[in-house]
């Protein structure tokens, strides 16, 4: 048995002087020496509250927060009015993850000293941890009212404002901190995060670089820099920045997660998945860890596992809209439409689509309410292809006895005049007539309970105007070869454009050796493709002559076949019941489903999918073979040409 002994104190022992010395040693980081003196003082005066309290602080500094709480409680039992002890007790509880207890301790400190800035700031940190962001901002504001240049409170206030999406205010808070201390590296990094959300990416990168100029080994700055570079589409540099962070701190979960995003963008999906698994193993509740893992699994074609990862993310963060939305896209892709539509409603809370939501005083129609005799506004959303695909629900709403007002972008206004069921078509941005209910266009399938067996596919549901058809027929002239419409690229800003769009010179290899007349049905052309068009006199291109989708529809109506990547043209051809061959990436957009060469949405569509190589060459080869099978040979015989055209335009 060991008997604890205490060194006898010399007769000249001065507790006050020893306490001052101990505190100086403590502040200098000489914890063992400070602890020895605190214990000597307690041997002389066992009830010395400051020593009891400060021994608890040492325990917390040594990573023993539970013992720290017990030790500080000994001090508070003797002096419950020690605000500093309550503050440090709160910090120990915070480190234990007991945030409510931490806040209660900070409140006790503030009841004693209302302007105790450390307790006010620490209270804000604890409130932030339990997502009470408004209260956190208020606590920081109280601290800053006492000390306006308190940089930690300014920086932490900026973080709370960011979570409230008060981004401009958050940026101003970081700027205030940096005005006080320009070399405050943490504020530079936090500022970069806000600038990233504001899409001011070059400035965000500069903020990360300023932080690293101050602290070259600042791991958080390197990791966040990787995230910014990812958003700038500088993926190799993003990967290198994350690798630098991990070389300094191999166990840093955030850097593994950001590295996964860079690898995902570089299409190194197996490596991305391994990084996600590493991040989740290091920090199981890391925000977006399971979300990123779901994204990697989705791109690997492991959709059920992807859904499980998204669900795990949603279980940890029920309000994380992106995880719900990507679960929806997975479910829709695998044909689980009804559950997919439900999760798809989360789109309005995502960063990508959240700004597209409409706030009307009239109630949302979700399918259950009787609408006969009432006026309903159906408003377009997302891209042109989405609008063309889902406007098919307008006649179904009208069939329930409702008067339908359809709101669409100007480019679709005239075309939508051919749609049955719309009592009135209105251009987006124009004044709306009176209505009783509203429904976003992509919420209509959910309202009708659409599943694979009940997709409305009566074709055509859009039609080109006769006078425009006549114009484009004359514009094309006499037909000596089969006319094939081509659309090789989509909207360049689309997040998946790099997977779906194809360079024109590569796309035209489809027609090598075929006697056909390629007709561009695209209006906007990228610079490199414009150069190809100048070189290829055999390709008809009308550019600005296509003033709206009404012109595009009329031009398509004059063609024999459309070959398109996944863009609005493919949907338009399908809605017109024109034969359309759609070239799809290995992991396609959800509406094309999986493992089939037809589409329940468009009976005249034939799908050509990338295989696991994710290369277009094999797709081009299959399209060339399909063209040969259709006997698209040059002919000057009108009767034979008609037979060829009839065979070409037959449904697959």
Residue 236 to residues 243, 266, 341, 615: CA-CA distances in angstroms?
Answer: 11, 8, 36, 21
Q: Judge contact between 649 and 576, C-beta under 8 A.
A: no
- Residue span(s) of the chain under CATH 1.25.40.10 come to 23-98, 276-357
* Alpha-carbon dihedral 142, 146, 148, 149, rounded to 10 degrees: -110
**Spatial separation of the C-alpha atoms in residues 484 and 558, rounded to whole Å:** 10
**Does the 276-357 domain belong in CATH 1.25.40.10?**
yes
* pLDDT band at 247; cut points 50, 70, 90: very high
* Locus of tokens 């910014």: 228
d(CA 203, CA 216): 19
- For the beta sheet containing 517-520, the strands, ordered from the edge strand earlier in sequence to the opposite edge, are 517-520, 483-487, 561-565, 580-584, 605-609
Lowest-confidence pick of 36-45, 183-192, 474-483: 36-45
The pLDDT value given to residue 494: 66
Between residues 516 and 645, which one has the greater pLDDT? 516
Query: At 513, is the pLDDT very low, low, confident or very high (cuts 50, 70, 90)?
Result: confident
pLDDT digits (tens, 9 = 90+) for 414-447: 999 999 999 999 999 999 999 999 999 999 999 9
| 363 strand-pairing partners | none
- Residue 624 Cα to chain centre, angstroms: 37
Q: 464, 554 in Cβ contact below 8 A? A: yes
**Token representation of residue 237:** 């540099």
- Does residue 249 register a pLDDT over 90? yes
* CB burial readout 19-36, b (16+ within 10 A) else e: beebbebbeeeeeeebbe
pLDDT at 22: 84
Alpha-carbon span 173 to 37, nearest angstrom: 42
Using the predicted structure, report yes or no on whether residue 633 has a pLDDT greater than 90.
no
pLDDT at 608: 98
Task: Say which CATH topology domain 469-649 has.
Answer: Rossmann fold (3.40.50)
Residue 436, number of CB atoms within 10 A of its CB: 16
* CATH 3.40.50.2000-classified regions of the chain: 469-649
Residue 112: pLDDT band with limits 50, 70, 90: very high
Which residues, listed in sequence order, are joined to residue 403 by a DSSP beta bridge? Answer: 375
d(CA 48, CA 575): 85
> Chain centroid to CA 298: how far?
15
Q: Which of 583, 499, 63 is nearest to 269 (CA)?
A: 499
* Distance from C-alpha of 564 to C-alpha of 544, rounded to nearest angstrom: 19
Task: Give the sheet arrangement for strand 375-379, strand by strand.
Answer: 422-427, 403-408, 375-379, 437-440
Contact 372, 401 (CB under 8 A): yes
In this prediction, what percent of the chain has a pLDDT beyond 90?
A: 81
pLDDT in the model for residue 118: 95
Give the per-residue pLDDT at 275.
96
CA of residue 613 relative to chain centroid, distance: 26
Burial class (CB in 10 A: 0-12, 13-18, 19+), 5: exposed
- The verdict on domain 358-454 having CATH code 2.60.40 is no
pLDDT number for residue 643: 47
The 8 Å CB, 24+ separation contacts for 290-294 are 290/316, 290/323, 291/320, 291/322, 291/323, 291/326, 292/257, 292/260, 292/261, 292/264, 293/260, 294/323, 294/326, 294/327, 294/330
Q: What is the pLDDT of residue 390?
A: 98
Instruction: Provide mean pLDDT across the span 503-529.
Output: 93
Which DSSP state fits 405?
E
pLDDT of residue 12: 65
* Residue pLDDT, tens place only, 119-131: 999 999 999 999 9
Can you tell me the mean pLDDT for 383-402?
Answer: 97
CA 211 – CA 515 distance, rounded (Å): 61
Please, are residues 522 and 487 in contact by the beta-carbon 8 Å criterion?
yes
Nearest C-alpha neighbor of 328 from the set 300, 296, 298: 298
**pLDDT for the residue 479:** 86
pLDDT band, very low/low/confident/very high, at 200 (cuts 50, 70, 90):
very high
Fold classification of 23-98 (topology level): 1.25.40
Do residues 311 and 297 touch, judged by C-beta distance below 8 A?
no
């Amino acid at each position: 048995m060991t008997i604890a002994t205490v060194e006898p104190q010399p007769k000249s022992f001065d507790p006050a002087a020893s306490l001052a010395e101990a505190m100086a040693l403590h502040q200098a980081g000489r914890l063992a020496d400070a602890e020895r003196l605190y214990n000597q003082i307690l041997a002389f005066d066992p009830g010395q509250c400051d020593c009891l309290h400060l021994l608890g602080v040492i325990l917390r500094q040594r990573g023993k927060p539970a013992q720290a709480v017990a030790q500080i409680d000994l001090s508070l039992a003797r002096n419950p009015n020690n605000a500093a002890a309550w503050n440090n007790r709160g910090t120990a509880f915070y480190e234990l993850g007991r945030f409510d207890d931490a806040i209660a301790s900070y409140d006790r400190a503030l009841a004693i000293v209302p302007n105790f800035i450390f307790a006010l700031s620490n209270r804000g940190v604890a409130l932030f941890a339990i997502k009470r962001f408004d209260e956190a901002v208020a606590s920081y504001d109280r601290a800053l009212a006492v000390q306006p240049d308190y940089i930690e409170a300014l920086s932490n206030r900026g973080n709370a404002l960011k979570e409230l999406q008060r981004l401009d205010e958050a940026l101003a808070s970081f700027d205030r901190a940096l005005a006080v201390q320009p070399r405050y590296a943490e504020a530079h990094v936090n500022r970069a995060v806000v600038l990233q959300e504001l899409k001011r990416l070059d400035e965000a990168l500069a903020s990360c670089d300023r932080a690293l100029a101050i602290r070259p080994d600042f791991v958080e700055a390197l990791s966040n820099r990787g995230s910014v570079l990812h958003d700038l589409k500088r993926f190799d540099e993003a990967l290198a920045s994350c690798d630098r962070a991990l070389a300094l701190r191999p166990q840093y979960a955030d850097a593994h997660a950001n590295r996964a995003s860079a690898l995902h963008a570089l299409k190194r999906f197996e490596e991305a998945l391994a990084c996600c698994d590493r991040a989740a193993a290091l920090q199981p509740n890391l925000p977006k860890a399971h979300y990123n893992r779901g994204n990697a699994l989705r791109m690997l074609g492991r959709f059920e596992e992807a859904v499980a990862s998204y669900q795990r993310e949603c279980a940890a963060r029920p309000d994380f809209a992106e995880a719900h939305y990507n679960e929806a896209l997975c479910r829709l892709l695998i044909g689980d439409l009804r559950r997919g539509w439900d999760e798809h409603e989360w789109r309005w809370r995502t960063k990508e689509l959240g700004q597209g939501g409409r706030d009307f005083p009239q109630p949302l129609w979700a399918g259950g309410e009787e609408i006969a005799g009432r006026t309903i506004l159906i408003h377009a959303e997302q891209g042109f292809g989405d609008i063309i695909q889902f406007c098919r629900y307008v006649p179904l709403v009208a069939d329930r006895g409702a008067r339908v007002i359809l709101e669409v972008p100007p480019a679709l206004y005239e075309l939508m005049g051919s749609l049955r069921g719309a009592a009135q078509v209105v251009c987006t941005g124009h004044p709306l007539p009176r209505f009783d209910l509203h429904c976003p266009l992509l919420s209509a399938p959910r309202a009708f309970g659409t599943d694979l067996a009940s997709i409305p596919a009566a074709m055509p549901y859009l039609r080109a105007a006769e006078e425009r058809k006549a114009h484009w027929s004359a514009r094309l002239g006499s037909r000596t070869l089969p006319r094939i419409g081509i659309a090789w690229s989509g909207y360049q800003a689309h997040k998946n454009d790099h997977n779906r769009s194809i360079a024109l010179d590569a796309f035209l290899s489809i027609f090598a050796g075929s006697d056909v007349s390629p007709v561009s049905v695209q209006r906007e052309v990228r610079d490199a493709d414009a150069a190809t068009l100048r070189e290829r006199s055999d390709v008809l291109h009308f550019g600005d002559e296509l003033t709206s989708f009404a012109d595009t529809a009329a031009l398509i109506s004059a063609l024999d076949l459309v070959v398109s990547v996944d863009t609005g043209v493919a949907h338009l051809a399908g809605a017109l019941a024109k034969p359309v061959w759609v070239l799809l990436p290995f992991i396609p957009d959800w509406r094309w489903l999986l493992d089939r060469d037809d589409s329940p949405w468009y009976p005249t569509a034939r799908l050509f999918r990338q295989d696991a190589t994710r290369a277009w060459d094999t797709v081009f080869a299959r399209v060339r073979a399909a063209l040969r099978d259709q006997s698209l040979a040059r002919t000057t015989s009108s009767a034979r040409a008609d037979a060829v055209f009839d065979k070409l335009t037959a449904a697959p």
